[in-house]
């Protein structure tokens, strides 16, 4: 991740200008109901569970204290990992975790994080606060951690300050089953056998903090490094290239055109901010309706970005072999007063939960290409699932959305035609309703609904051709305040509740969705 003041300021201003066609005289959520047709008879792509992935960077308290406290800590732990955080993440069915960065990845040398912890070098985290990095959490700890929570491993290799040899030896250390010096060293460090690595990236944000490379230079770097990423037969991870961000599609075009046969996925990064400039993004709490709607309008740009990039991918790869990996996404606000700005700690509210649900609905709609996504980040950083303070832990509204959406993991996407009014405030307008649907392996239909209007409930009618609905049940997440959030003193202020407002009549589903809410329904 990298702060891009000038370019993203222009992008966000363009977003607001593009939305200016709507006025206060336009339709609002109160003027007419929303209707949707869920085509249960036209199944689409599988929604890869990896789009519910997480991201853990060496940044602030994201790893140390957030995940790792060490075996000697008074905080209850197993082998140094916090029991409460591990249990919370297991409950989410986290499918994949990306590590060690982020910008940190391209200054990370994997040998600093192996061997006895007492002899590991203390290095400097130049990207995030300029603080010492103990390297207590390294390769073995990360892979132990993902095994504890039941997730796949996504490792981001160092293409910025590293070398092809360093990256190749790391992958050899991880995956080889042959008797070599590296595998003998791995055994001495406590892991005789190889690990299974699901994804491996060649660099991160190589257009910025990963080296300020030109596209042409990085395409050559990717091809060079990927050539030497060798593993035993059947053990090679999917190789991910460092792609573009926001509205820049040139990196996708260049990589698809010239990236070569090793290219398994192209990464993409987009952060949602409520303001127009990175230096004045807006607060995480204490905001009003204007920043509510501007945040949602900006996050909806994800649809345009995905569409533009996947259209290019379809030109070069019509068989859709190469995936589009949105491996950094989420909200980013101004730092809290009195906190280290470089630690990127922010409170997480109902607004963040709505942002997460909107993005999931968009990812579902592009499930044929978007086969992995990683929210930034997992614990104590940006749009986190979990916040910790010493021995205390609190689950955020975003955490609860991830839990509510679990049935969509590996379900089959069902296309939906939606007619919805718009929520309009001043010169900014957004659809009042967001929806997606899927059929689970057990045969149930799951439907995710989001009401973006912060003040008005929305009547919704859904038809399901190809299905005969008999029962419906569900959960809803909402609260009275726009910035409702959970704290260490009040950890249950925003919690999902049972939703009983849906009914079935003549094969149609009817409900009224409360203002500023997220609901997930199970229809059988």
Q: Any idea which residues carry the catalytic annotation?
A: 205, 328
Q: In a 3-state reduction of DSSP, which class is residue 436? A: strand
Q: In a 3-state reduction of DSSP, which class is residue 73? A: coil
Q: Long-range contacts of range 251-256, CB-CB < 8 Å, 24 or more positions apart?
A: 251/207, 251/215, 251/218, 252/309, 252/312, 252/313, 252/324, 253/312, 254/215, 254/216, 254/219, 255/219, 255/222, 256/312, 256/313, 256/315, 256/316, 256/317, 256/322
- Using alpha carbons, select from 250, 467, 476, 266 the residue that is nearest to residue 357: 476
8 A C-beta contact, residue 426 and residue 456? no
Task: Provide the token pair at 424.
Answer: 């309009």
d(CA 162, CA 107): 7
Task: Provide the token pair at 133.
Answer: 């990095």
Looking at the DSSP bridge assignments, the partners of residue 425 are: 428
Beta strands at 497-499 and 472-477: parallel, antiparallel or unpaired: antiparallel
Phi, psi of 512 (to 5 degrees): -120, 120
Cα 148 to chain centroid, rounded: 20
Q: Output the CA torsion 41→45→46→50 (10° steps).
A: -150
- Using alpha carbons, select from 329, 387, 378 the residue that is nearest to residue 358: 329
């Amino acid at each position: 991740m990298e702060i891009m003041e000038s370019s993203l300021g222009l992008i966000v201003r363009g977003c607001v200008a593009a939305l200016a066609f709507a006025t206060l005289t336009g339709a609002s959520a109160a003027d007419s109901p929303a209707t949707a047709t869920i085509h249960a008879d036209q199944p689409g792509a599988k929604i890869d569970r990896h789009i519910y992935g997480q991201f853990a960077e060496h940044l602030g308290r994201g790893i140390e204290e957030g995940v790792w406290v060490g075996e000697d800590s008074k905080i209850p732990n197993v082998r140094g990992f916090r029991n409460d955080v591990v249990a919370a993440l297991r409950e989410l069915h986290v499918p994949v975790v990306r590590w060690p960065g982020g910008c940190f990845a391209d200054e990370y040398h994997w040998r600093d994080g192996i061997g006895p912890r007492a002899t590991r070098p203390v290095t400097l985290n130049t990207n995030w606060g300029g603080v010492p990095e103990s390297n207590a959490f390294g390769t073995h700890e990360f892979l132990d951690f993902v095994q504890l929570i039941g997730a796949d491993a996504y490792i981001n290799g160092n293409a910025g300050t590293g070398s092809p040899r360093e990256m190749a030896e790391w992958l050899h250390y991880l995956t080889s089953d042959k008797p070599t010096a590296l595998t003998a060293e791995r055994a001495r460090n406590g892991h005789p056998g190889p690990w299974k690595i699901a994804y491996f990236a060649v660099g991160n944000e190589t257009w910025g903090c990963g080296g300020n490379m030109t596209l042409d230079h990085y395409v050559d770097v990717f091809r060079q490094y990927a050539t030497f990423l060798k593993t035993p037969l059947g053990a090679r991870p999917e190789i991910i290239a460092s792609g573009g961000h926001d509205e820049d599609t040139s990196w996708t075009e260049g990589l698809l055109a010239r990236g070569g046969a090793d290219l398994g996925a192209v990464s993409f990064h987009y952060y949602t901010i409520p303001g127009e400039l990175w230096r004045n993004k807006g607060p995480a709490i204490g905001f009003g309706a204007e920043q509510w709607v501007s945040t949602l309008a900006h996050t909806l740009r994800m649809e345009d970005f995905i569409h533009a990039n996947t259209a290019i991918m379809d030109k070069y790869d019509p068989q859709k072999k190469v995936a589009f990996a949105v491996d950094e996404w989420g909200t980013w606000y101004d730092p809290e007063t009195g906190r280290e700005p470089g630690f990127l700690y922010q409170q997480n509210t109902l607004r963040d939960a709505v942002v997460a649900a909107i993005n999931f609905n968009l990812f579902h709609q592009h499930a044929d290409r978007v086969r992995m996504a990683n929210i930034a980040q997992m614990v104590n950083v940006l749009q986190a699932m979990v916040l910790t303070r010493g021995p205390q832990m609190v689950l955020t509204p975003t955490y609860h959305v991830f839990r509510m959406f679990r049935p969509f993991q590996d379900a089959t996407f069902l296309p939906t035609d939606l007619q919805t009014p718009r929520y309009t405030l001043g010169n900014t307008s957004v659809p009042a309703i967001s929806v997606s649907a899927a059929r689970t392996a057990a045969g149930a239909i799951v439907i995710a609904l989001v009401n973006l209007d912060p003040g008005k409930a929305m009547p919704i009618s859904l038809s399901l051709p190809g299905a005969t609905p008999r029962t419906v049940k569900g959960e809803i997440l909402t609260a009275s305040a726009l910035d409702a959030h959970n704290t260490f003193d009040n950890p249950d202020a925003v919690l999902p509740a049972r939703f009983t407002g849906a009914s079935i009549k003549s094969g149609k589903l009817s409900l009224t969705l409360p203002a500023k809410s997220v609901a997930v329904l199970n229809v059988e």
